[in-house]
Structure 1
Amino acid sequence: MSASPQRPVRIISTQSELAWTVPLLDSVASAAGDVPALLSLAREAGGNWPQPGGGHTAHLWELLASVSAVDVAAGRVFEPHVDAQAILAQAGNYRAGHDPADRAGAWGVFAAEGPGLRLEAKTGDAGILLSGSKPWCSLATLLDRAVITAHTETGGRAAFAVDLRHPGVTCDEPAWVARGLREIPSGTVHFSQVPAQQLGSDGWYFSRPGFAWGGMGVAACWLGGAVGVARDYKEALTAAARSGREPDQIALAALGETDRILTAALQYLARTATVIDDGGLSTGEEAPETGGRSPEARENPRKSGAHTGTDRSVWSDALRVRGTVAAAVERVLSLVSQNRGPAPLAFDEPYAKRMADLALYVRQHHAMRDDAQLGKLTLKGEHLW
């Protein structure tokens, strides 16, 4: 990574207002590739970051985007820890005066399902115990605790806080062959009579608006990664011009389109964050089951039943935000890779890493399947036009 000071990503703030983040971003750049060091930074910084829906959602997304612009994998480390802290706070608000769990340590969020794998929660004399297996558990061997979903005795699913250091927790060696996010492997974790603390009632985890808010936070990470790619491109053009190779019209057109795309997406995030903080996106219904396609169940924040009329719901806006950002990221990746060609992918390690990391991370989006879900809601009248 470059030794020059890192720049934050601005959604609503000025550069001077975000100047305090530069030492953190420099630390992230220095720790890139060192997951324990990144987890330490996430623990130190993430606990003090704003939470979605609390009046400073755009600032939270600026922080997630800024970390991801420095190193996409770092954003992939920070985001679940921050999301877990928000989930614990939301659970405490759900049951007023009840502290749901000790928030210390490094946290993950494991909510995906996979064929042939099932995690069950049963209540007995020893309290709630988890048994079974959970797929797509990123960095499980390096984390202290996790928010994890499990099937309950009533036939539903609920979220639980669990200590991953318990002797009843065992982790498979991930069969992780990815060239992107190589330091963030995801594998299956097995639980045998592991004590857990329930967070909210059955269905609460998926029905709370914070589920969709968290999904938009992931989109902020994707967009931050695309900002990093765009900065690489701009700096490459500047360096070439200094050596006497001025950019041609094709290169300039690609940079102009990249600027237009990123600016529009950042402004959309700013507007959505304002609506969230104003209470305009605080309704939700239980999202459908998510499969084992990615490490994040928040990858697919779809609702099972739509509001009718012109009401805005958190689920439809989450689909719009994530789809818009994913399309922006895909286009920026295409524009920059086409114009820079193969050489930096072969010989520029930070650039090649960023491109591979972001290409894998954004694949958590369900693309046309999410658009189909949004189309159903649109057909029922849930739109602004």
Structure 2
Amino acid sequence: MSALLRDVTSAVGDVPALLAIARKAGTDAPQPGQGRTARLWELLASVAAVDVAAARILEPHFDALAILSQAGKGPGHMDGAWGVFAAEGPGSRLQAKAGDAGILLSGSKPWCSLAPQLNRAVITAYAEGGGRAAFAVDLHHPGVTCEEPAWVARGLREIPSGTVHFSDVPAEPVGGENWYFNRPGFAWGGMGVAACWLGGAVGVARDYRESLAAGAEAGREPDQIALAALGETDRILTAALQHLARVAARIDGEAGASASDAVETGRSAWSEALRVRGTAAAAVERVLSLVSLNRGPAPLAFDEPYAKRMADLALYVRQHHGMRDDAQLGKLTLEEECPW
């Protein structure tokens, strides 16, 4: 992993280089649910601690390869740089229709990050049965048109997300109708994103610790408020990372987990994902608040790596749906799907 992190460090801000790193790392990256889930999440978190945007590039590529593997696709399907496009948006609809030439996709898909720079993607579309299904598509097909994103965000500036239009684009089914959302791997992928969030927060915490140490060396010993913030940051991140590790062990059936305790079904996996993602998002929000309040405006204005990390992470964690996700979890908890 140290070689990968060195490569990422040298490629920060260089999207083609980071995509090349993703392709290379993806050839032997761990996949969730195959005994090395903790290793995968540690890798993603470690990359995010170096650069949040780099993790935002590697994570969907790894996720796409895992999805293809879960659907029984062989390595021959996995060449190039991949994305995963499953978001929906008002006024956008992608439809899959079967014909003599196979399945064709037509319509629009929002939130397609880096689509012009990717080779292929796993993408969800509405099937003729009314549900949604996943398909593998070639993003270089002439029927694919990528809009220029109106990306004004200060965070993740090198990873704009825009709408992609499809006109009779051939698509290869990946699983059946509704398979994509019902498989345990959907929840596992969501928890992999949470690992990236936590890794980004670790990077922020390291920035803070190093700033206090540098101040102490210069004769400015941290006061109790600064130390209290560092202590709270430590326990928040330690608890969230330990939670993530325990869930990874349960997914892989390790650490003495019984068959009944393992995270097997899509339903139980999703309730676990809601806990992990909510815990990670809350930890990130608190760490961002603690560190920014204690470090003040100067590093946000003049320390480019720190300012980038803060902006990238603040935007990335907004993928969490807050109280709406908690409402989903509350419903499952009311139905007695809870560990307590």
* TM-score class, shorter: over 0.9
CA distance in 2, matches of 1:154, 1:371: 30
How far apart are 1:173 and its partner, in Å?
0.3
Q: Who is 1:283 aligned against?
A: 265
Measured at CA, do residues 334 and 57 of structure 1 come closer, stay the same or move farther in structure 2, by a change above 3 Å? same
Gaps of 5+ in 1: 1-20, 93-97, 286-312
Q: Is 2:249 the partner of 1:274?
A: yes
> SS at 1:181's partner residue?
coil
Please state if 1:59 is matched with 2:39: yes
User: What 5-or-longer segments of structure 2 have no aligned partner?
Assistant: 254-258
The answer to whether 1:128 aligns with 2:103 is yes
Give the drift of 1:27.
Answer: 1.2
Read off the aligned partner of 1:45 and give its amino acid letter.
Answer: A
Stretches of 4+ aligned residues off by more than 2 angstroms: 98-101
1 CA distance for matches of 2:34 and 2:3? 25
The Cα shift of 1:152 comes to: 1.0
Per the TM alignment, residue 100 of structure 1 is displaced from its structure 2 partner at its CA by 8.6
Q: Look up the match of 2:124.
A: 149
**Could you tell me which residue of structure 2 aligns to residue 8 of structure 1?**
none
Q: What do the CA deviations read for 1:20-39 (whole angstroms, capped 9, x no partner)?
A: x1221111111111111100
SS in 1 for 2:165: strand
Aligned to 1:228, which of 193, 196, 203? 203
SS in 2 for 1:383: coil
Q: Report the Cα offset of residue 101 of structure 1.
A: 6.1
Q: Find the counterpart in structure 1 of residue 270 from structure 2.
A: 315
Alignment match, 1:138: 113
1:85 aligned onto 2:40: no
One-letter amino acid of the structure 2 residue matched with residue 237 of structure 1: L
Cα drift, residue 333 of structure 1: 0.3
Shift of 1:377: 1.2
Give the helix-richer structure, 1 or 2. Answer: 2
Q: Which residue identity lines up with residue 282 of structure 1 in the other structure? A: E
1:326·1:365 contact (CA, 8 Å) conserved in 2? yes
In structure 1, the partner of 2:15 is 35
- Quote the Cα distance in structure 2 between the aligned partners of 1:384 and 1:361: 29
Distance 2:291 2:48 in 1: 17
The equivalent residue for 2:86 is 111
Give the conservation status (yes or no) of the 8 Å contact 1:100–1:197. Answer: no
Aligned mates of 2:284, 2:312 — CA distance in 1: 12
1:164 matched to 2:139 = yes
Partner of 1:7: none
> What is the CA–CA distance in structure 1 between the aligned matches of 2:13 and 2:88, rounded to whole Å?
28
Q: CA deviation at 1:47?
A: 2.3
Paired residue total: 333
Secondary structure of 1:382's counterpart equals coil
- Quick one: distance in 2 between partners of 1:194 and 1:82? 24
Residue 162 (structure 2) aligns with: 187
Residue-by-residue CA offset, 1:355-381 (whole Å, 9 max, x unaligned): 000000001101111111111111111
Q: CA deviation at 1:119?
A: 0.6
- TM (normalized to structure 2)? 0.96
Contact 1:100 1:199 in 2 (8 A): no
Say which of 308, 328, 333 aligns to 2:283. 328
Say if 1:100 and 1:205 are closer, same or farther in 2 by CA, change over 3 A. farther
**Of the candidates 19, 32, 50, which is equivalent to residue 70 of structure 1?**
50
Sequence identity, in percent?
Answer: 78
Partner of 1:173: 148
CA 1:99 to 1:45, structure 2 compared with 1: closer, same or farther past 3 Å? closer
